[in-house]
Amino acid sequence: MPPSFVYDLSKVDFTRLVVSLEGIQQIIPQRFEMAQLDGIVHIDEPADTIIGVKYVTENEFWCRGHIPGRPLMPGVMMIECAAQLSAYWVMKKHPERGFIGFAKCDETRFRGTVVPPATLFMIAQMVEQGRRRTVSRCQGIVDGTLIFESLITGMSV
């Protein structure tokens, strides 16, 4: 039996962006091929949880080579997407920390694939916040199915 979602998804309107791509780019520096977030659909400050979206298209830079004729979103790109979501949330709430860079991921499980075209929603729920380090429990969802989960650690760099 797969684990449950870390957040009650019945509270979320997945059709409405609360933060646009432009709003994300005001906070995190990733651009061009490395910009992996397209928007934020939900923020729950008391629960320290944020939900973002990535519209996975056939034009992604990795489609041509991973895997020819049957493109699959690389797991590392899913992790990067969730890490950017986590970094956005920390940098938005604590701008004094500066840039939050990826430090590690733990307890990572891939439970499905992301095949373009697809809409990948990511949940990032903060579980630990220190002066320089932050840890978030992240999950990726496509069509209501849990695709991946990971504990992602970010660090002020």
Q: What secondary structure, in 3-state letters, does 3-44 show?
A: CCCCCCHHHCCCCCCCECHHHHHCCCCCCHHHCCCCEEEEEE
Among residues 66, 92, 93, 133, which one is catalytic?
Answer: 66
Residue with token string 């320290």:
48
Annotation marks residue 66 as catalytic:
yes
Give the C-alpha separation, 16 to 125, whole Å.
20
The strand ranges marked E within the chain are 39-44, 49-56, 100-110, 118-129, 133-142, 145-156
Q: Contact at 8 Å (CB) between 142 and 112? A: yes
Residue 128: beta bridge partners? 135
Q: Contact at 8 Å (CB) between 124 and 136? A: yes
> Active-site residues: which are they?
66
